[in-house]
Structure 1
Amino acid sequence: MAASYELKASARDRVGKGAARALRREGLLPAVIYGDKKQALPITIPVKETTITLHKGGFLTHIGIIDVDGEKHQVIAKDFQLHPVRDDVMHVDFLRVAKGSTLTVEVPVHFLNEETCPGIKKGGVLNIVRHTVEMTVPADNIPEALEIDLAKAQPGDSLHISAVKLPEGCQPTITDRDFTIATIAAPAGMKETDDEAEAEEGEGEAE
């Protein structure tokens, strides 16, 4: 499996808030590598390169390499903490990725043909229920995104996970129902018209 980024790191023996502040003054971030039935490894990584990697997108779905003092670890970022005010990266958790392993990741959802969607052209609104879907995936085949085609979606339609062509070996963690990813909410005027039509049909049947 090809790595999409590589970060240089050093083993870290200092822990605690004071040590973390000192590291950040040096342009470094505290982080940890864990998993694969091995001992957790506290490390430091460069703030600048990590921030650039984060903002490229796909940080939580791309395999990376962490070079810790010459020893390379294949990882995927599982979580990161941001400063509550400045949005600076404060800490990163990396999970070791073994060959042939499977991972649970949040895969983003992309919508195709939104500009030509008939339901939206008729005044409907795309209501996104899930911006991401939690999935179990092979470590060497993590999808960039799930795609939903809106080319035929009409007002009132619900778009379910069954409408998504899933990559081979990938499946959602929710398997007991065909859950909704998005809906095309019908415009209020159209709903009122439909209700009136139903009422008139009911009156006709009563006569």
Structure 2
Amino acid sequence: MSDLFEIEAQPRSDAGKGASRRLRRTGQVPGILYGAHQDPEMISVGHNELIQHLEHEVFYSHILSLKLDGKEQQVILKDLQRHPAKPFVTHVDFLRVSADEKIKTHVPVHFINEDTAPGVKMGGAVSHHITDLEVSCLPKDLPEFIEVDMDGMEIGDIILMSGVALPEGVELPALASGAPEHDLPVVSVHGAHAVEEEEEMGAAEGEAEGEE
């Protein structure tokens, strides 16, 4: 997979909350670069540049090129912290990747043929139980997203994680143990009345908790 995103990073030496606050005031986001059997490095990246990248869904599930001290490193976005009340990123973690070592990360799920599914045409309601999946694969096999094809789904049908068609070389760690309880539903189609019943039950439970 070719690199679509390049990130300019700067090394930083000051640690602690005070240093991070000073860094943010200059328009930088503190971060950590780790993995690939190398020592972790404290870095910073430009907030505006990062925000522009985050507008693209594939940025979250793509091999990125991070430039640090004149050296390019292949990484993935591993963690992101945002301010609870303001549109600011407060911290970012990048994980180095090695071409011959599998990585685990989350990729978004895209549902296709939803509008043409027979159950939907009959008035059924769709529940997206999972909107991203953790995958395990080599960096070269990392998909930008995983498609879940709803073609042919009738009312009452459910697609489980084990029923998702995966690209070659991609596995779902959740299914590695073979335990049936880990094989969670990804999407289901059910009658509209079932949604109403669920909402009524949720409201009733909320009222009961409020009376306690």
- Count matched residues: 189
Q: Bigger CA drift: 38-47 or 158-167?
A: 158-167
Q: CA deviation at 1:4?
A: 2.3
Q: CA deviation at 1:162?
A: 3.5
- The alignment's TM-score, normalised by the length of structure 1, stands at 0.86
Q: Does the CA-based 8 Å contact 1:107-1:132 persist in structure 2?
A: yes
Residue 16 of structure 2 corresponds to which residue in structure 1? Answer: 16
In the alignment, residue 124 of structure 2 is paired with which amino acid?
G
Residue 169 of structure 2 corresponds to which residue in structure 1? Answer: 169
Residue 181 of structure 1 corresponds to which residue in structure 2? Answer: 186
Inter-partner Cα distance in structure 2 for 1:188 and 1:6: 49
SS of 1:130's equivalent in the other structure is: coil
Per-residue CA deviation, residues 20-73 of structure 1 (Å, 9 max, x unaligned), is 111112111111100111110001111111111111122331111111121222
Q: Does the CA-based 8 Å contact 2:134-2:173 persist in structure 1?
A: yes
What are the within-5 Å matches in structure 2 for residues 185-204 of structure 1? 185-188=190-193
Residue 118 of structure 2 corresponds to which residue in structure 1? Answer: 118
Extract unaligned runs of 5+ from structure 1: 190-207
Inter-partner Cα distance in structure 2 for 1:56 and 1:186: 34
Inter-partner Cα distance in structure 2 for 1:129 and 1:120: 16
Q: CA deviation at 1:3?
A: 2.0
SS of 2:162's equivalent in the other structure is: helix
Q: Does the CA-based 8 Å contact 1:3-1:64 persist in structure 2?
A: yes
Residue 148 of structure 2 corresponds to which residue in structure 1? Answer: 148
- The alignment's TM-score, normalised by the length of structure 2, stands at 0.84
Percent of aligned positions with the same letter in both sequences? 35
Q: Bigger CA drift: 78-87 or 136-145?
A: 136-145
Q: CA deviation at 1:156?
A: 0.6
Q: CA deviation at 1:158?
A: 0.9
Inter-partner Cα distance in structure 2 for 1:2 and 1:156: 41
Residue 194 of structure 1 corresponds to which residue in structure 2? Answer: none
Greater share of helix residues, 1 or 2?
Answer: 2
Per-residue CA deviation, residues 119-138 of structure 1 (Å, 9 max, x unaligned), is 01212111111111111121
RMSD between aligned residues: 1.6
- Please identify runs of 4+ aligned residues in structure 1 that moved more than 3 A: none
Per-residue CA deviation, residues 83-118 of structure 1 (Å, 9 max, x unaligned), is 000131111100011122211111211111112111
Q: CA deviation at 1:179?
A: 3.2
Do structure 1's residue 81 and structure 2's residue 86 form an aligned pair? no
Residue 65 of structure 1 corresponds to which residue in structure 2? Answer: 65
